Chains A and B, each alone.
Chain A
């Protein structure tokens, strides 16, 4: 069993979980966890919700307190960047020049915000939301803002919009496509969320493209954002602009080391790269996904990060198995709780369970007669059952899904796969 040094690049959900799982499974070798942010590893989901809102502080954001790393002999290197991998010598060169030897190297480098090439993107008052530092800055800006433009109606944009609106700010969301969260949810769910946000006073511009961000000179030192100009010529007043148009996987270091990178670091069904001494997990990894018909898939989700980490930890302690965990996701937008079980991309038919008007319903997404995934809105029991159902490879028919008297719980737990 290779109980020699494991070096983990990236200290987000995936990297942290791998380090923790290795120790939990009794891995005895050295474990080095390298992160490029100054703080201890922390949870990202609350950044756009309770942390942004000031409901929780850094202490509750941390994955574990400092003592955990000491007690579990996890060598955490904060504010540290890896610059180069030498696969022949099995070393990682850090920005400091120091070289670390690995027996096994894991890319958990995550993703970074996509920055559009918009004139004015560099202006003061243009913000992003992914890291703790992003959020600290955004929180300060939010307090002082009046007119906010959000570019991109994905999870992050909508979660932020809900918080901003609750603070009484004017919020206008500019979305290039014709609907909210279009990349990940069904039309029915998109529409429901857009209408719910609109009822709280959020304004939407669908099919709208930001052309430039305009500023005004505020000091000899620089300019502040003043408005967002759309391709249509319309100008939206803005003293804060959140750019939330998705992320780009961090695969450059892997590519430079000669590993295959194609919308993420390419790995096999056990999350190993083409080099048996190197794995990739979490947002940065593109893997053949059982729940997407075996297609190469890259997911941005805490579940995916943590389950990838557990799978690689198992392999490193000699219990290798193919990765097969069911993907699931969640988003909290004001009072709306969206939970998704499975991957619904490519569905051609949806079935509603529960009345949309009640605000508590699920959308069962099918391709033909095959259930791909389930979106639950304020209906957590459906989500819990759907996860169990899909994870076990069980199916229910569209008619059963639509029938309110159908016992989803029983189907999830007892029906043969």
Chain B
């Protein structure tokens, strides 16, 4: 199972083994990782599952579609070049070892 590490604002790292096909958002919520709100439940409607992907790992992630790109305009914490919505990061084998950093706030 691919492993994904979440780093919180206070530098706490949580590593999860995630089923292929599950999103980085879903895994966080299912495992009680704080810092991801996901108000719309993963429909790419709310921009409250914002994460910063470690820069050198961006290429491992599925490409960003236009909807995600648009909704990232509305994140509560600043959008950076490595910003993604974690509901759109569906885990694949190549994403093993992914590291995402949680933003200061989602709402």
Please report whether the interface of chain A is mostly helix, strand, loop or mixed according to DSSP.
helix
- Interface footprint category on A: 20 to 34
A380 to B40, Cβ gap below 8 A? Answer: no
**B81 at the A interface (CB under 8 A):** no
Chain B residues in 8 Å Cβ range of A381: 69-70, 73
* Chain B residues, Cβ within 8 Å of A67: 32
Kindly list chain A residues whose C-beta atoms are within 8 Å of the C-beta of B82: none
| B47–A384 CB distance below 8 A | yes
Q: Is the CB of B73 within 8 A of A330?
A: no
B45 touches A384 (CB 8 A): no
Q: Is A71 an interface residue (CB 8 A)?
A: yes
Q: How far is the CA of A64 from the CA of B42 in the complex (A)?
A: 14
A330: B residues at CB distance < 8 A: 40, 43, 45-46
A296 to B44, CA, bound (A): 30
A406 CB within 8 Å of chain B: no
**CA of A310 to CA of B74 in the docked complex: distance in angstroms?**
19
In the complex the two chains form, is B41's CB within 8 Å of A384's CB? Answer: no
Interface contact tally, CB-CB below 8 A:
67
Do the beta carbons of A24 and B107 come within 8 Å of each other?
Answer: no
Bound state CA distance, A196 and B10, in angstroms?
Answer: 48
Taking CB atoms, residues of chain A closer than 8 Å to B73 are: 381, 384-385, 388, 409
Is B90 in contact with chain A by the CB < 8 A criterion? no
Task: Using known A-B contacts A24-B34, A65-B32, determine if residue A45 contacts B74 with beta carbons closer than 8 Å.
Answer: no
Beta-carbon contact of B41 and A45 below 8 Å? yes
Residues in A whose Cβ lies below 8 Å from that of B43: 45-46, 49, 330, 332
Task: Using A45-B43, A60-B26 as known contacts, say yes or no to A384 and B31 having CB atoms under 8 A apart.
Answer: no
* A interface residues with partner B (beta carbon < 8 Å): 24, 43, 45-46, 49, 59-65, 67-68, 71, 302-303, 306-307, 310, 330, 332, 337, 339, 379-381, 383-385, 387-388, 409
28 contacts between A and B (CB under 8 A): A24-B34, A45-B43, A49-B43, A59-B30, A63-B29, A64-B29, A65-B30, A65-B31, A67-B32, A71-B32, A302-B39, A302-B40, A303-B39, A303-B46, A306-B107, A307-B107, A330-B40, A330-B43, A330-B45, A330-B46, A339-B45, A379-B70, A381-B69, A384-B47, A384-B74, A385-B74, A388-B73, A388-B74
